[in-house]
A = this chain, B = another copy of it.
Amino acid sequence: MNMYLLNKAAACQRELFTRHTKPIDCFHLQQTESGWEAVDRMPFSGRTPRLNKGDSLCLDFGTHWVGYLSFSAQPVGGAADAPAYLRIIAGERLCEIGEDPDDYHGGLGKGWLQVSHLHLDELPCTVELPRRYAFRYLKIEVLDTSCQYGISLSDIGCQAVSAVQEEDAAPLVTDDPFLNRMDEVSLRTLRNCAQDVFEDGPKRDRRLWLGDLRLQALTAYRTYRAHTLARRCLYLFAGLTGEDGGVSACVYTKPTPHADDLRLFDYSLFFVSCLSDYWEATGDTETVTDLWPTAWRQLELAAAELDERGVIRDKDTWWCFLDWNDDLNKQAGAQGVFIMAVRQGLLLSKRFGTPEQQDRLNGWLEIALKGSRQVLWDKHLHLFVSGQNRQISWASQVWQVLAEVWPTEESRELLLRTVEQAPAVGMVTPYMFHHWVEALLSVGLTDLAKQELRRYWGGMLKAGADCFWELYDPTDPDRSPYGSPVINSCCHAWSCTPAYFFRRYPELTENS
């Protein structure tokens, strides 16, 4: 734990922006074959009718917010001779307030479900729920009052919080309402994940992950210009490295900053990428001077994994992320991430490093490019292969393209060949789709990139997304790898990048 760096992280802490939001509509829930539906929608008057034991009420806050709920409660019909006992469920999607949280038996901790049991011992009263919720919908269930009285709720609201404000975002210039809508949802996704740090998902996980940070920061530089928040996150990772100087895949900030044990090959290298992106966005020499040694150390540790052929060693463990696809062999993707990070490290080293570091970086780049071209490239298939079983996946091609292993023209052919051959080992997350689109744009396949944005992120919009999701399978929008869709995170940082693409590649928003 490096207190110099952690103090610098602490100095970047800012008070969050707050905004008071209220429910717009009330409605009833109906379970249909295609899932939960809001029926009997009515504008919410601001005060509930008398609610008795067994009654419930559903409210819609209009869109997705992250914040703190509060309400007032009054006894109706008589004095409150027993505590009112409520269960309140907040949900990003209708299924979360439709399903009974007690029926959840998925793989992730039940503690993530946004359910709260409240005893109101003194009535009338004002209640401020202590937990922060990420939600659009709210269900209020009266578990009991007494036979003497019912309750009515009023002043129901949410003190929404974020490190950024939507009105500060750089505007997008396009006439296309669909792209505008996609941009708006991207910006909301980023806003709701931008808190004390860049969280991966404000409902579930809430951690600062390096992979998510990279995409959030890239988007934030071009939208909210949240440079200080990005700096804070970089200092946190650097201040919490392990004994060998390696950064964790994620860190926690509460109750005090601490790192998770998890180390991932690609995420560690993204510290270099993040620092490089930060330098490009800010030109802040003080910060990059402070953090270059940490970036360098990630490169050193990663380079130690190169084998004699110039290829990153494959492992049986969960050593590298790339995508939530258990079938994916990570070797070629990891190699791509390494080469990209070495290139970014080289640029930084010219200003912040030593000549010796530059020499070593040039050496690693040469070796790794050779490894990619000679070992991972299949000359007959004209595709990159990965691992002992020479797996062909979308991810391997994407990362080798982003690493610029072949010249642009050949990379473009490779991506078109990938589309044509459609390898069975596919892409699963918006995170991986981001890199797919970035690869397409890097080689000038703008129309295809646009098409993919419309198909994938546009698919979430058509499925009713208020923010972009952690996971999206166009063939099954309710799919959950955790055993239940109610635990999915439906506002997830790594999905916010359309707003980045639109501003970095203006050709995307020009009329085609």
Determine the distance from Cα of A131 to Cα of B119 in the docked complex, in whole angstroms.
Answer: 8
Of the residues B79, B121, B147, B255, contact of A260 by C-beta under 8 Å: B79
- Docked Cα-Cα span, A107 to B143, in Å, equals 13
B-chain residues with CB within 8 Å of residue A78 when the two chains form the complex: 261
Given known contacts A116-B117, A117-B116, A117-B117, is B122 in contact with A109 (CB within 8 Å)?
A: no
- Cα distance A252–B79 in the bound complex, in angstroms: 9
Contacting pair A108 B146 (CB below 8 A)? yes
> With A78-B261, A79-B261, A255-B122 in contact, is A111–B131 under 8 Å at CB?
no
B255 touches A109 (CB 8 A): no
Does A247 interact with chain B (Cβ within 8 Å)? no
Copies of this chain in its oligomeric complex: 2
> What CA separation (Å) do A168 and B107 show in the bound complex?
56
The residues of B that contact A504 with a CB separation of less than 8 Å are none
Tell me how far the C-beta of A53 lies from the nearest C-beta in chain B, rounded to whole angstroms. 8
In the complex, A415 has a CB within 8 A of chain B = no
Known contacts A116-B117, A117-B117; is-contact A108 B122 (Cβ 8 Å): no
Sample of 8 further A-B pairs with CB below 8 A, known A83-B111, A110-B144:
A81-B109, A81-B205, A81-B207, A85-B110, A109-B145, A110-B143, A111-B143, A122-B255
18 A-B contacts (beta carbon < 8 Å): A79-B258, A80-B252, A81-B109, A82-B108, A82-B111, A82-B112, A83-B112, A85-B111, A107-B147, A109-B146, A111-B145, A111-B146, A116-B117, A117-B117, A119-B131, A122-B254, A123-B255, A125-B255
Give CA–CA (A254, B120) in the complex, Å. 11
Which chain B residues border A259 with CB–CB below 8 Å?
79
| B residues near A144, Cβ cutoff 8 Å | 109-111
Q: Which residue of B lies closest to A79 (CB)?
A: B260
Contact with B along A125-144 (1 / 0, CB 8 A): 10000010000000000011
Give a binary string over A62-86; 1 marks a CB under 8 Å from any B CB, 0 the rest. 0000000000000000111111110
Nearest Cβ distance between residue A296 and chain B, in whole angstroms? 26
Interface residues of A (CB under 8 A from B): 78-85, 107-112, 115-117, 119-125, 131, 143-147, 205, 207, 252, 254-255, 258-261
Leading 8 A-B pairs by shortest Cβ distance = A82-B109, A83-B111, A85-B111, A110-B144, A109-B146, A122-B254, A117-B117, A109-B144
Q: Is the CB of A111 within 8 A of B84?
A: yes
In the assembled complex, which residues on chain B have CB atoms less than 8 Å from the CB atom of A121?
A: 131, 254
What is the distance, in angstroms, from A92's C-beta to the closest C-beta of chain B? 17
Give the chain B neighbours of A125 by CB distance below 8 A: 255
CB closest chain-B residue, reference A145: B109
Of residues A107, A110, A131, A145, which shows the largest number of chain B Cβ atoms within 10 Å of its Cβ?
Answer: A110
CA distance A115 to B118 in the complex (A): 10
A82, A123, A131, A252: most-surrounded residue (chain B CB, <10 A)? A82
How far apart are A237's CB and chain B's nearest CB, in angstroms? 15
Which residues in B have their C-beta under 8 angstroms from that of A108? 82, 146
Q: How far is the CB of A200 from chain B (nearest CB, A)?
A: 11
A250's nearest neighbour on chain B, judged by CB, is B81
Residue of B nearest to A104 (CB): B144
A260 and B81 in contact (CB under 8 A), knowing A110-B143, A110-B144, A255-B122? yes
Most buried by B among A119, A125, A146: A119
A469 vs B143: C-alpha distance in the bound complex, in angstroms?
27
Query: CA A125 – CA B254 in complex, angstroms?
Result: 10
Write out the residue numbers on chain B whose beta carbons fall within 8 Å of the beta carbon of A258: 79
Which residues of chain B have C-beta atoms less than 8 A from A122's C-beta? 254-255
Enumerate chain B residues within 8 angstroms of A119, measured Cβ to Cβ. 111, 116, 131
Q: What's the Cα separation between A312 and B453 when bound, in Å?
A: 85
Name, among A85, A109, A121, A258, the residue most crowded by chain B CB atoms within 10 Å (CB to CB).
A109
CB pair A109 B124 closer than 8 Å:
no
Chain B residues with CB under 8 A of A124: 255
Q: Kindly report which residue of chain B lies nearest to residue A107, judged by CB atoms.
A: B147
Note all chain B residues with C-beta closer than 8 A to A205.
81
Q: Report the Cα distance A374→B278, complex, angstroms.
A: 101
When distances are taken between beta carbons in the complex, the residues of chain B under 8 Å from A112 are: 82-83
A114 and chain B: residue at smallest CB distance:
B119
Chain B residues near A83 (CB, 8 Å)?
A: 109, 111-112
What is the CB-to-nearest-CB distance from A251 to chain B, in angstroms, rounded to a whole number? Answer: 9
- Could you tell me the distance between the alpha carbons of A205 and B79 in the complex, rounded to whole angstroms? 12
Among A108, A121, A122, A125, which residue has the most Cβ atoms of chain B within 10 A?
A121
Interchain nearest-CB distance for A206 vs B (Å): 8
Give Cα A80–Cα B250 distance, bound, in whole angstroms.
12
Give the Cβ gap from A208 to chain B, nearest Cβ, in Å: 12
Chain B nearest Cβ from A370, distance in angstroms: 39
In the complex, what distance in Å separates the CA atom of A205 from the CA atom of B110? 33
Q: Which chain B residues lie closer than 8 Å to A143 at the CB level?
A: 110-111
